[in-house]
Amino acid sequence: MSSSVMRKLDVVSPVPADIDIANSVQPVHIDEIAKSLNLTPNHYDLYGKYKAKVLLSVLDDLKESKNGYYVVVGGITPTPLGEGKSTTTVGLCQALGAFLDKKVVTCVRQPSQGPTFGIKGGAAGGGYSQVIPMDEFNLHLTGDIHAITAANNLLAAAIDARIFHESTQSDKALFNRLCPANKEGKRSFNDVMFRRLNKLAISKTNPDDLTPEEVTKFARLDIDPDSITWRRVMDINDRFLRKISVGQGPDEKGMVRETAFDISVASEIMAVLALTTSLADMRERLGKMVIGNSKSGDPVTADDLGVGGALTVLMKDTINPTLMQTLEGTPVFVHAGPFANIAHGNSSIVADKIALKLVGPGGFVVTEAGFGSDIGTEKFMNIKCRYSGLSPQCAIIVATIRALKMHGGGPAVVAGRPLDHAYLNENVALVEAGCVNLARHIINSKLYGSNVIVAINKFSTDTEAELNAVRKAALDAGAFDAVVCSHHAHGGKGAVDLGIAVQKACENATQPLKFLYPLDIGIKEKIEAIAKSYGASGVDYSEQAEKKIEMYTKQGFSGLPICMAKTQYSFSDNAAAKGAPTGFVLPIRDVRASIGAGFIYPLVGTMSTMPGLPTRPCFYDIDIDTTTGKVIGLS
Amino acid sequence: MSSSVMRKLDVVSPVPADIDIANSVQPVHIDEIAKSLNLTPNHYDLYGKYKAKVLLSVLDDLKESKNGYYVVVGGITPTPLGEGKSTTTVGLCQALGAFLDKKVVTCVRQPSQGPTFGIKGGAAGGGYSQVIPMDEFNLHLTGDIHAITAANNLLAAAIDARIFHESTQSDKALFNRLCPANKEGKRSFNDVMFRRLNKLAISKTNPDDLTPEEVTKFARLDIDPDSITWRRVMDINDRFLRKISVGQGPDEKGMVRETAFDISVASEIMAVLALTTSLADMRERLGKMVIGNSKSGDPVTADDLGVGGALTVLMKDTINPTLMQTLEGTPVFVHAGPFANIAHGNSSIVADKIALKLVGPGGFVVTEAGFGSDIGTEKFMNIKCRYSGLSPQCAIIVATIRALKMHGGGPAVVAGRPLDHAYLNENVALVEAGCVNLARHIINSKLYGSNVIVAINKFSTDTEAELNAVRKAALDAGAFDAVVCSHHAHGGKGAVDLGIAVQKACENATQPLKFLYPLDIGIKEKIEAIAKSYGASGVDYSEQAEKKIEMYTKQGFSGLPICMAKTQYSFSDNAAAKGAPTGFVLPIRDVRASIGAGFIYPLVGTMSTMPGLPTRPCFYDIDIDTTTGKVIGLS
């Protein structure tokens, strides 16, 4: 049975603006979409008429069910214009659900709200392959990012407040405030305090039994202000918050500190949400998040600050994925949207798990991995699948003639500038030369054991000869198949061939998931395994990076997977090195860690975690039609 | 027909903790509550099972319906422990709906989420008179405060980004970026730009027709950084953000500026939400918000920055009030929660308007006004009702024996310290002496023309003689009635007498609403009218206040109502002056304005707009039961 509610698209050529297409289709009530997945009303909470949160408890109800096929969508190294990975993800699902009569769920990331008002528009796909309603997708959705902002900033406030209070109180006074006597004069530890006691290897349960040394160890976190890595966040492009000083008020007694805001989706809590597997697991991860070190070099966690439980309470509803729909009425899970450089850039494990049960055997879950497959697919396999225990049958690599020409030596592609004629006229040689990039992505993706399919996202200027060159190169490099698709112009109908190929790839999948590296080797060895997959001949560590690797190893975190923070515009650290560079030495500038989320992230270059607003931000065009309540000008 | 779904409470004595009572009652699905108000599913959007947003469009459907009775709940000057105004508001509605068979809607403010994790617990009433589910009420609710945070901070980011871009560009370059030529080389103004052109009295519609002087006027806002009153906000108790420096990053080229964060509910946008009457009105108010002045002293608005439309888009769903329920199944609207000092401290006009139509003739809408009636009820009448056009039939003043004893000369009441024995044993003389405070609240409230009822919120330690003393004093001062109630201990059953008295007061209401001052007098005359109602013999303006009054008058804002930012702990500016002080001179330290919300707010003393966290914040006790998903430790 199909999981589409079968809405027929009236396709127009040339393709209208995304917002016009999105507004031309009346979405069905989300109850209908839920029903198509055999969900009953007790399985989900409505958020208006077109969004619902599917409750994690569905997994308990379906624990006897078998999973469907699991498909991950990556891409070749993109141009700054993007090569249509989201669009292909959505289009493929529209094909599977609305044309091939398969049960299917699309799993995508929730976009940050900030950029919607800045330079770039939304991220709901494009053309006739979109998630709707577009304004709800791009704006508050069901509040998950707002909850992340609140939780992240509660922890930040707790850090500075604790340092402040410790600075003015004796150990004894601190302890008495943390464990006050009740009316009967009795003191007690509460749950979160036992976590700290445990960590300190203090097994006493009565506060009055602690020795003065134990009182000090327990009550004084002694946070080293210079070691604090936890920053505040905001889901706004606010460049003036990139570097700030806090604590300048007279009441804060001169405890001024330099810090910064990141955009909310860069919060470790977003990565926790994406990688968690249950409410209990989320509680543990949130409590384990490290915010900095004590002056003696021990990691200080959210639970040490007593706030891990409260963070989980703020986050409790976010664990339920948001159900939406495509233009052709197939179901979509929108859930989590971590950065793809300082985090792993994939939507949530929880959404994929629920979706796999809901579609069941013979059904398909298609999930997108951010950036090119050197980053997105690599992290999908080595981080996300490692934590979820799931393995994909098929890995898709989205390619465009435009990007391949760039890799073949075409002139630079710059956002906002007209394309060079090389990109608008047939040039088979340029395409062929660029296929080295595609070939490496195929070879790397095959290493994990899934069948690899190349989806060629066709533009109107592409020629048959160019498309054939890509197909040939893809098959030569070991792709299971390479398929031209036109879902942007035609919706699901334009991706039917891709759908058929994906089905075949899944049905023929045999190999189990293999990782690029085991967890029980050193941090450097893991970094080097990934660097090798980029084509690097070696790795160069800065002094700072060396120090941090040593520190994390000493702190007992070396068993975590690695999440490389690298440019998406090249296999190497140099965004200008197109094609398939080799022989370069990958520089590691610094190494950081998201202990709660569960990965170490080496920085290859500088990553911006707070965008800005241009002179004329897109908010100039955004308004509301106050008679209909409809949003206008969103793109 | 009753608007209660008739849930019988099993009342236990002594009264258990609020959270235990709240958790002991299984709320009904919010569909049931909606149905009890004759709402059909197209009138509201569900947000889970126990919350719904009732759509503003209901007002169109009900425009032929007549309003019910309108009751405002204020209080005497409180102790720091609070005198149970919210509890009385909820208890009265439980009585009217569940025992007196009336249609009733309770309208309350949404609390800030920040303090939930700080010192004070939630704000959903107490004992057997509460709004449930309590955790949803106190946490994200339906995202309105998060939307306010986002909108507030988008405007803040727009201000700094604009100053930055103006600092590096010529007038011509700025103009070219604001009105870029399209592919055909044509430029155009968009909607929000026409608002600015209008303000500048430039009637041209073609950008190319502007003179160089007009280009400069249009494109260069020339914001004076020292004049900026717009701050960023966060719904967290984060004391280290009370004074900060932003723009310290190298990319911001040294444009460092001192500013601050307020807690989100202090945002002018919250006050706009509370005072708006329609989506179109909200669009106008958001666009008119003044963020500071140009260097030549002209006010700069959100629409001058091009962002008024985008702010409205972020706020569009917030205009729909959230429907919840009391412990006894009567309907509640939770909507907007502006500060009661720097703003007007009342829930929304929109919620009250919808509620009045829904209950219809013979039904009751009970709405709470923050702080004592010198502040809450005064602002309800002179600001909220002035903008809404509504007038109440009955004004309630909540009093406690405890607070009256304090006003009569009892020892200081301090939160967290045991009460003096004067408050626990009979002392009729102290109560009688304190009734001067109650009397002034009655006399002041009567000035507006509604019948005044005193609700005596009874504690277990109160004696018959004490209660009788209050009743007598209240009637002597002109109250319509004075009723002892025990809704905290008994739920609606404990407020039945109050309900009957309120019904009588409403049925006998005759006088139209009279304001304390007209709008068309000067700012100072309005301030003086309010000061007189406090018992002041005069007003003393600081130099700064004088300057600001002159500036706002010159800018054309003197016709707005006045919103006094004064302590709630005394009629005067001195929190220690209990009872009914007279003959004091009210000092006005500064004068500020919320032009979009629509009021001028003089500062009587210093108002804190960002709370902090103590050494042991309540988040230590808050956690989640990961097997049931239930929140624990919330108070």
- B80 to A219, A240, B414: CA distances (angstroms): 30, 39, 6
What pLDDT shows up at residue B23? Answer: 87
A280 in contact with chain B, both atoms CB, cutoff 8 A = yes
Those of residues 292-311 in B touching chain A at CB distance below 8 A are 306-310
- Cβ distance B231 to B594 under 8 Å? no
A31 in contact with chain B, both atoms CB, cutoff 8 A = no
* Closest CA of chain B from A291, distance in Å: 16
A236 in contact with chain B, both atoms CB, cutoff 8 A = yes
What pLDDT shows up at residue B4? Answer: 59
**CA–CA gap between residue A319 and residue A353 (Å, rounded):** 12
* Closest CA of chain A from B276, distance in Å: 13
DSSP H or E segment with residue B259? strand B257-259
Q: Could you say which of A234, A251, A633 has the minimum Cβ distance to residue B153?
A: A234
- Cβ distance A319 to A276 under 8 Å? yes
Find the DSSP H helices in B295-348.
Answer: 308-315
* Closest CA of chain B from A477, distance in Å: 42
Average pLDDT, chain B: 95
Of the candidates B150, B188, B166, B95, the residue with the CA atom closest to the CA atom of residue B494: B95
Of the candidates B437, B470, B477, the residue with the CA atom closest to the CA atom of residue B570: B437
Strand partners for B292: B300
- Over the stretch B159-203, which tens digit does the pLDDT of each residue have? 999 999 999 999 999 999 999 998 888 999 999 999 999 999 999
Which chain A residues are closer than 8 Å to B234 by Cβ?
153, 232, 234
Q: Residue A323 phi/psi, 5° resolution?
A: -90, 130
B59 in contact with chain A, both atoms CB, cutoff 8 A = no
User: What is the three-class DSSP state of B431?
Assistant: helix
What pLDDT shows up at residue A20? Answer: 87
What pLDDT shows up at residue B121? Answer: 58
Those of residues 253-272 in A touching chain B at CB distance below 8 A are 255, 257-258, 260
- What band does B122 get if pLDDT is binned at 50, 70 and 90? low
* Residue in chain B nearest A158 by alpha carbon: B613
What is the mean pLDDT of the segment spanning B450-465? 97
CB atoms < 10 A from the CB of A576, how many? 10
Query: CB B239 to CB A629 under 8 A?
Result: no
**CA–CA gap between residue A634 and residue A612 (Å, rounded):** 18
Q: Which candidate in A149, A606, A624 is best for mutational testing of the B interface (most B CBs within 10 A)?
A: A624
DSSP H or E segment with residue B35? helix B30-36
In the predicted structure, residue B3 carries a pLDDT above the cut 60: no
- Cβ distance B113 to B140 under 8 Å? yes
B621 in contact with chain A, both atoms CB, cutoff 8 A = yes
**CA–CA gap between residue B69 and residue B104 (Å, rounded):** 9
Q: Residue A409 phi/psi, 5° resolution?
A: 120, 5
* Closest CA of chain A from B538, distance in Å: 32
Which chain A residues are closer than 8 Å to B238 by Cβ?
153, 156-157, 160-161, 232
* Residue in chain A nearest B249 by alpha carbon: A243
- Cβ distance B347 to B107 under 8 Å? yes
What pLDDT shows up at residue B6? Answer: 67
Helix orientation angle between B171-178 and B212-219, rounded to the nearest 10 degrees: 70
**CA–CA gap between residue B457 and residue B466 (Å, rounded):** 12
B52 in contact with chain A, both atoms CB, cutoff 8 A = no
Determine how β-strand A104-108 pairs with β-strand A364-368: parallel
A11 in contact with chain B, both atoms CB, cutoff 8 A = no
Which chain B residues are closer than 8 Å to A192 by Cβ?
620, 623
Q: Kindly list the averaged pLDDT for each block of 10 residues, start to end, along chain A of length 635.
A: 68 88 93 97 96 97 96 97 94 98 97 88 83 94 98 98 97 96 90 97 96 97 98 97 97 94 97 98 98 98 98 98 98 97 96 98 97 97 98 98 97 90 96 98 96 97 97 98 97 98 96 94 98 97 98 98 97 97 97 98 93 95 93 86
Confidence check on the interface: ipTM exceeds 0.90, yes or no: yes
- Cβ distance B394 to B135 under 8 Å? no
In chain B, what percentage of residues exceed pLDDT 90?
Answer: 91
The pTM assigned to this predicted structure is 0.97
Which chain A residues are closer than 8 Å to B140 by Cβ?
143, 146-147, 150, 314, 317
Which chain B residues are closer than 8 Å to A614 by Cβ?
161, 165, 177
Query: CB B235 to CB A310 under 8 A?
Result: no
Question: Counting one residue from A and one from B, how many pairs have CB atoms under 8 Å apart?
Answer: 284
What is the mean pLDDT of the segment spanning B126-149? 96
B612 in contact with chain A, both atoms CB, cutoff 8 A = yes
What is the mean pLDDT of the segment spanning B464-489? 98
CB atoms < 10 A from the CB of A322, how many? 24
User: What is the three-class DSSP state of B262?
Assistant: strand
What is the mean pLDDT of the segment spanning B113-129? 84
Q: Which candidate in B615, B627, B635 is best for mutational testing of the A interface (most A CBs within 10 A)?
A: B615
- Over the stretch B80-114, which tens digit does the pLDDT of each residue have? 999 999 999 999 999 999 999 999 999 999 999 99
Which chain A residues are closer than 8 Å to B160 by Cβ?
238-240
- Cβ distance A312 to B624 under 8 Å? yes
* C-alpha angle A19-A21-A25 in degrees, rounded to nearest 5: 115
Q: Taking the mean position of all CA atoms in its chain, how far away is CA A351?
A: 12
A144 in contact with chain B, both atoms CB, cutoff 8 A = no
* Least confident range of A122-136, B504-518, B585-599: A122-136
Residue type at position B624 = I
Find the DSSP H helices in A408-461.
Answer: 428-446
- Over the stretch B232-288, which tens digit does the pLDDT of each residue have? 999 999 999 999 999 999 999 889 999 999 999 999 999 999 999 999 999 999 999
Query: CB A48 to CB B46 under 8 A?
Result: yes
What pLDDT shows up at residue B1? Answer: 44
Of the candidates A606, A605, A604, A587, the residue with the CA atom closest to the CA atom of residue A540: A587
- In the DSSP assignment, the letter for residue A412 is P
